[in-house]
């Protein structure tokens, strides 16, 4: 959960949490039918996709590493 601050996070990590929260809020208010897709195991491609008012599918993609 990139939007959850943990007790051990330093100031840099807390800034990232806030940025991810802002991105999540923007996507949730802008897009309908927002979906998250995770592809992979350790190095995971994450796609956040949704529909615009005119039914176009748009979103963002990132890669995360889970160890």
Average pLDDT of the residues in 36-45: 95
In angstroms, rounded to a whole number, what is the distance separating the alpha carbons of residues 61 and 35? 12
**Single pTM value for the model:** 0.76
Q: How confident is the model at residue 67 (pLDDT cuts 50, 70, 90)?
A: confident
Q: What residues pair up with 63 in beta bridges, in sequence order?
A: 45
Phi/psi region, residue 46 (left: phi>0; alpha: psi -120 to 50; beta: rest), is beta
């Amino acid at each position: 959960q990139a939007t959850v601050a943990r007790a051990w996070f330093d100031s840099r990590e807390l800034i990232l949490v806030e940025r991810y929260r802002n991105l999540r809020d923007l996507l949730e208010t802008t897009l309908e039918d927002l979906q998250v897709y995770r592809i992979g195991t350790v190095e995971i491609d994450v796609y956040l996709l949704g529909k615009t008012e005119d039914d176009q599918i748009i979103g963002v993609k990132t890669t995360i590493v889970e160890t």
